[in-house]
Amino acid sequence: MEINHWHCYENMFSSRQFEASVTTVWRSGKISGEMHLSTGEEAITAGTVLQLQAGDAMALDHRGTSAMLMRGVDPFRLLREFMGKSDGLCHGQGGHMHLFSKRHLAASSGIVGATGPAAAGFALANRALRPGSVALAFFGDGAMNQGMLLESMNLAVAWRLPVVFICKDSKWAITTLSASVTGGKLVNRAIGMGMPATSIDGTDVEAVWKTASKSLIRARKGKGPSFIHATCTHPEGHFLGDPLLRIARHPVKEMKKVAGPMIKSAIHLQGASILKRSGSLATVTTLIGKTARDQHFSGKDPLSRLRRQLKKENGRLEKLENELINKNQAVINRALAAR
């Protein structure tokens, strides 16, 4: 299947608009708890999900909104689910992390690494009930240190299951730099298990599309799983209100809240040595700076990248965006007005 850049952009832009509205609703207090956005992952989602066929399945992580939308799940039911309403996708009991749509063969989980076993199960069922169908497993780089994901990859190779494992690598595992807790290269782990593995720029939808196309064809032919390592950034950090990102964006305002306790702990008479405490403060400062560079100021936006390619037809582009903005706003207004 050849890539349709306009179709990809339409889905990516719609996803971004919806999540921007979700952010507003969350900040207003109408959505309780944490909110993990898939903002920044749109090219990875579009390049894979838009190639799926009827009968294909998706195992999604805690950032499943974009994939659900691109697979055709009703955005009204998604937002109502986030708000905990009974007319939501899962009757208001799943929130934004634990979603399920039987019609779309899609399930998400907030348990890190759980998409591995779920996708392996989907793939095993597909091979028995829907030959030629595949399953996608989406997860972050932090999940690559979870045993159940690695065990699922191993089993998928041993049983030649039709799975495509997709690692969305932002270089961060919540507020921990992945490189500080992960040995070796992630693609080498997949290769060591006996499956083809490719590392790509996850902000380039065309690169994702071409790589995913090969993996999907391989899986449909019964040749077993593949691994895609796609780099990306999360401009809103790990979740909305990410403390490191708040400090990076508003250093004076936010540091007032934490400077006192940090200084107090640094000069406390008991505990670790002054040298070690100074080192800890330096580590925190470094993390804040790196958060700003990697997530907020990286400039690696998949939407902007694709938009530049389409801007030669500026009239068509602006018309499409305005239509999608109005369509999204109508959904949001209806969801907020419902009881």
Do residues 60 and 200 share a domain?
A: yes
Q: Is 56 left (phi over 0), alpha (psi -120 to 50) or beta?
A: beta
239 domain-assigned: no
String of DSSP letters for 237-278: -SSTT-HHHHHHHSHHHHHHHHHHHHHHHHH-SSSS-HHHHH
Do residues 290 and 306 share a domain?
A: no
Do residues 146 and 278 share a domain?
A: no
19 domain-assigned: yes
Task: Choose among 27, 26, 23, 70: nearest CA to 45.
Answer: 70
What's the token pair of residue 170?
């932002």
Do residues 100 and 174 share a domain?
A: yes
Do residues 162 and 283 share a domain?
A: no
Do residues 135 and 283 share a domain?
A: no
Number of structural domains, the chain? 2
85 domain-assigned: yes
Do residues 186 and 317 share a domain?
A: yes
| Neighbouring residues of 316: CB distance < 8 A, sequence distance ≥ 6 | 310
238 domain-assigned: no
| Domain with 202 in it | 5-233+299-337
Pair 177, 287: CB distance under 8 Å: yes
pLDDT in tens, 242-280: 777 776 776 656 556 665 676 666 666 576 776 666 565
63 domain-assigned: yes
Residues 161 and 165: their CA atoms lie apart, in Å, by 11
CATH number at residue 134: 3.40.50.970
β-partners of residue 108 are 60
Do residues 122 and 261 share a domain?
A: no
Do residues 204 and 253 share a domain?
A: no
201 domain-assigned: yes
pLDDT in tens, the chain (339 residues): 899 999 999 999 999 999 999 999 999 999 999 999 999 999 999 999 999 999 999 999 999 999 999 999 999 999 999 999 999 999 999 999 999 999 999 999 999 999 999 999 999 999 999 999 999 999 999 999 999 999 999 999 999 999 999 999 999 888 888 999 999 999 999 999 999 999 999 999 999 999 999 999 999 999 999 999 999 999 988 889 877 777 677 665 655 666 567 666 666 657 677 666 656 555 656 665 665 566 554 568 999 999 999 999 999 999 999 999 999 999 999 999 998
Do residues 221 and 259 share a domain?
A: no
String of DSSP letters for 57-91: EEEE-S--HHHHHHHT--HHHHHHHHTT-TTSTTT
Do residues 189 and 291 share a domain?
A: no
Do residues 225 and 277 share a domain?
A: no
- Residue corresponding to tokens 């993390």: 287
